[in-house]
Amino acid sequence: MPTVLITGANRGIGLELARQYAADGWRVIATCRNPGAADDLNAVEGDIDVYPLDVDDTSTLDALVTSLQGQAIDVLFNNAGININKVPSIGDIDYDAWARTMETNVFAPIRVAWAFKDNVLASSMKVMAFTSSLMASIERNGGGNAVYRSSKTALNMAAHCLSLELADTGATVAMLHPGHVRTDMGGPNAPVTAVDSAAGMRDVISKLSPDENGCFKNYDGTAFPW
């Protein structure tokens, strides 16, 4: 069975992705900041291993790269993300929070993708998925929350550059909007369940082909405007 590596797998969408891939018989490499406290993740049954990874901390990334050296990863799911400093006006931005957001939502997933590039290219599926957001879209920009929006727009650009760089390798880089999902980040009134979001994104990934390398899609498979 294929192998998936998921960042931020201890709660929210990442936890549900881990559950569903494991239930489907995949080998799951589930990562999170504090495996010892990840009770829900540790309870997931199947072919699953939980590893420590703080995506902002290169020492934990280096350790994981060493642990997984030579192992093929079919789907690298860069899911971990933050949405802090949700302010309506540019004038209210906390610039330290913006820098932290760029670190976690942009620099970290790109760094993780590059660190596991050889593992992904050694697999049969060769997919790098990035959890982006509808809020990355400039065409559909409703304004406000410039910190989070700009981080996901930057993620899209950097991941698209990655897709061009890997174009000759057979890899498929995909930026996916998970929906507005009922998680700690999405809030209790969000319309989409983590179950439906994860199922939708898994279905999208299963149908990807290299000619879609660099795509930006909704969890139902429809394309999003940049």
Nearer residue to ligand NAP within complex by CB, 8 or 214: 8
When asked if residue 200 is in the footprint of ligand NAP (CB under 6 A), the reply is no
Binder of ligand NAP out of 190, 193, 212, 218 (CB under 6 A)? 190
Residue of 30, 81, 116, 146 interacting with ligand NAP (CB under 6 A): 81
Pick out residues in 20-49 that bind ligand NAP (CB under 6 A). 32-33
Q: CA-CA distance, 12 to 194, in Å (whole number)? A: 7
Q: Does 122 bind ligand NAP (CB under 6 A)?
A: no
Site stretch for ligand NAP (CB under 6 A), options 118-126, 163-171, 179-187, 210-218: 179-187
Question: Binding to ligand NAP by residue 137, rule CB under 6 A?
Answer: no
- Three-class SS of 10-55: CCHHHHHHHHHHHHCCCEEEEEECCHHHCHHHHCCCCCEEEEECCC
C-beta of 118: minimal distance to ligand NAP in Å?
Answer: 22
Q: Which two tokens stand for residue 98?
A: 């913006």
Burial string for 105-130 (b: 16+ CB within 10 Å, else e) reads bbbbbbbbbebbbebbeebebbbbbb
When asked if residue 214 is in the footprint of ligand NAP (CB under 6 A), the reply is no
Residue 172 found at the interface with ligand NAP (CB under 6 A): no
Q: For residue 175, state whether it binds ligand NAP (rule: CB under 6 A).
A: no
What is the rounded distance in angstroms from the CA atom of residue 137 to the CA atom of residue 103?
20
Cβ partners under 8 Å of residue 185, min gap 6: 12, 81, 82, 83
Name the site residues for ligand NAP (rule: CB under 6 A).
7-8, 10-14, 32-33, 54-56, 79-83, 104, 131, 133, 177-178, 180-181, 183-186, 190
